Amino acid sequence: MSNSGEPTIVSRGAFPPTAGPLVDRFDRSKHKLRLSLTDRCNFRCHYCMPEDPEWLPKEALLSFEELERIARLFITRLGIDNIRLTGGEPLMRRGVADLVARLDAQRAEGLERISMTSNGVPLRKHADDLVAAGLDDINISIDSIDPERFRAMTGGGELDAVLGGIRAARDAGLAMKLNAVVIRGDNEEDIVPLTEWAMSEGVSLRFIEFMPLDARGGWQPGRVVPEREIIERLAERHHVEALSRTREPATYYRVDGDYRLGVISTVSNPFCSTCDRVRVTATGEIYPCLFSPVNTDLKTPLRDGASDDDLEHVVRGAVWRKGKGFVESAGYVQRAITMHGLGG
Ligand code: SAM
Ligand code: SF4
């Protein structure tokens, strides 16, 4: 597996800067914040959730007031201009449109984009309210266009319900991308039909390599369908041309002249050297990387009455200590947290 995405350390001293952009030891500045709203979900995707999850108690979750304060801190003091709401399923949290509206009110302070990642099902109910509240775009997960395979991957999810959510998002005028995790033995047969369906719908699709963050220990290197194979399968039926890589996590390809397809190849071709994200879980832990073995608690100081100066210090320290990323510990490592708790 390639190590081309490996960041190199810069010597800027032993401590994080006390002002200016939010940076780590590898000089990667952060401008995207992923806020997880809940660990709960209406699906049980085997690559993400335990079979019988024990949900976090409500009081452990950050309140909307706390989330609003954290967002303001990151925007006004730390240069974050993009916020993505995620989970679990973020729309399982009651009143998410209210939270979006609270974030929308922070645009004057520097917030440029409010996004969400969802399994799409609750959009039939919420799409209009989310748009009215100020949501800019949504990523919807759809791993298969075959109802049986979809059900198997999501632990009983109904494909029709997701398709209904996609239609609702489109009718509401919400910009969207689709994401599909590809797992050998589960849905590699979907690569071509899913792409063809997305092309016919005129909606952008990104395939995601299976990452070792599943809650059931089912990840193995052999179950990863690497970017190269995804593209080879497509190239058997379509003209596929690589586009130059940008700072985005996905590598993009042009399919049949004008369709743009992405592949997020965290395992076979990691983008760690340009990573510009930081994550806060629903319980207020900072994870500077999806693969961080440790986290930093922001909720306790927040609830203990810490000043913005103190909280800024906590965040800068947590991000400064960020490791190299997946490139450092490629492969399956037992982690304290899995995707549904961390917020993918
Ligand atoms: N419930 C929402 C959804 O499914 O879009 C948001 C949360 S989910 C954790 C965010 C994204 O992480 C989804 O696109 C999901 O497919 C992806 N994901 C979860 N576990 C993964 C894994 N082990 N490897 C790769 N992607 C994963
Ligand atoms: Fe739920 Fe999303 Fe995880 Fe599937 S990937 S179980 S929809 S949080």
Secondary structure letter of residue 183 according to DSSP: B
Q: Which strands sit side by side in the sheet containing 296-297, from one edge to the other?
A: 240-242, 250-255, 259-264, 204-209, 175-182, 137-141, 113-118, 82-86, 32-36, 277-280, 285-287, 296-297
Residue 157 Cβ inside 6 Å of ligand 1? The answer reads no
One digit per residue, pLDDT tens: the chain, 344 residues? Answer: 344 567 765 656 678 888 889 999 988 999 999 999 999 999 999 999 998 899 999 999 999 999 999 999 999 999 999 999 999 999 999 999 999 999 999 999 999 999 999 999 999 999 999 999 999 999 999 999 999 999 999 999 999 999 999 999 999 999 999 999 999 999 999 999 999 999 999 999 999 999 988 888 889 999 999 999 999 999 999 999 999 988 888 999 999 999 999 999 999 988 888 889 999 999 999 999 888 888 999 999 999 999 999 999 999 999 998 888 877 776 666 666 667 777 66
What distances in angstroms separate CA 266 from CA 130, 187, 214, 220, one per listed residue?
30, 18, 14, 14
Atom 4 of ligand 2 has which residue's CA nearest to it?
45
Evaluate whether residue 149 is within a structural domain: yes
Ligand 1 centroid to Cα of residue 344, in Å, is 5
Residue 48 Cβ inside 6 Å of ligand 1? The answer reads yes
Instruction: State residue 2's pLDDT score.
Output: 40
Ligand 1 centroid to Cα of residue 116, in Å, is 12
* Ligand number, closest to the Cα atom of 212: 1
Residue 46 Cβ inside 6 Å of ligand 2? The answer reads no
Evaluate whether residue 176 is within a structural domain: yes
Residue 290 Cβ inside 6 Å of ligand 2? The answer reads no
Instruction: State residue 214's pLDDT score.
Output: 83
Instruction: State residue 3's pLDDT score.
Output: 43
* Ligand number, closest to the Cα atom of 46: 2
Place of tokens 């006390």: 18
Residue 320 Cβ inside 6 Å of ligand 1? The answer reads no
Helix (H, G, I), strand (E, B) or coil at 201: helix
For residue 149, the number of C-alpha atoms closer than 13 Å in the C-beta half-sphere is: 19
What distances in angstroms separate CA 81 from CA 28, 43, 225, 265, 271, one per listed residue?
15, 30, 33, 25, 20
Instruction: State residue 114's pLDDT score.
Output: 98
Instruction: State residue 322's pLDDT score.
Output: 86
Atom of ligand 1 nearest to the CA of 213: 23
Classify strands 277-280 and 285-287 as parallel, antiparallel or unpaired.
antiparallel
Atom of ligand 2 nearest to the CA of 154: 4
What CA–CA distance (Å, rounded) separates 127 from 131? 6
For residue 130, the number of C-alpha atoms closer than 13 Å in the C-beta half-sphere is: 31
Instruction: State residue 250's pLDDT score.
Output: 94
Looking at residue 129, its amino acid is D
Residue 73 Cβ inside 6 Å of ligand 1? The answer reads no
Tally of residues, the chain: 344
> What is the domain extent for residue 245?
32-342
Residue 38 Cβ inside 6 Å of ligand 1? The answer reads no
Evaluate whether residue 150 is within a structural domain: yes
Q: Do the Cβ atoms of 135 and 116 come closer than 8 Å? A: yes
Count the domains in the chain. 1
pTM value is: 0.95
The count of other CB atoms within 10 Å of the CB of residue 17 is 12
- Helices then strands, each counted (H, E), the chain: 10, 14
Instruction: State residue 283's pLDDT score.
Output: 96
Ligand 2 centroid to Cα of residue 238, in Å, is 30
Instruction: State residue 10's pLDDT score.
Output: 61
For helices 96-104 and 123-133, the axis angle rounded to 10 degrees is 20
Evaluate whether residue 93 is within a structural domain: yes
Torsion of CA 21, 339, 336, 61, to 10 degrees: 70
Residue 119 Cβ inside 6 Å of ligand 2? The answer reads yes
What CA–CA distance (Å, rounded) separates 287 from 281? 8
Evaluate whether residue 299 is within a structural domain: yes
Atom of ligand 1 nearest to the CA of 340: 9
Atom of ligand 1 nearest to the CA of 43: 1
Ligand 1 centroid to Cα of residue 26, in Å, is 27
Evaluate whether residue 17 is within a structural domain: no
Residue 340 Cβ inside 6 Å of ligand 2? The answer reads yes
Domain containing 108 — which CATH number?
3.20.20.70
Looking at residue 293, its amino acid is P
Q: Show the DSSP H helices in the chain as ranges.
A: 64-78, 96-104, 123-133, 147-154, 159-171, 191-201, 227-235, 299-303, 308-320, 339-342
Helix (H, G, I), strand (E, B) or coil at 278: strand
Evaluate whether residue 209 is within a structural domain: yes
Evaluate whether residue 14 is within a structural domain: no
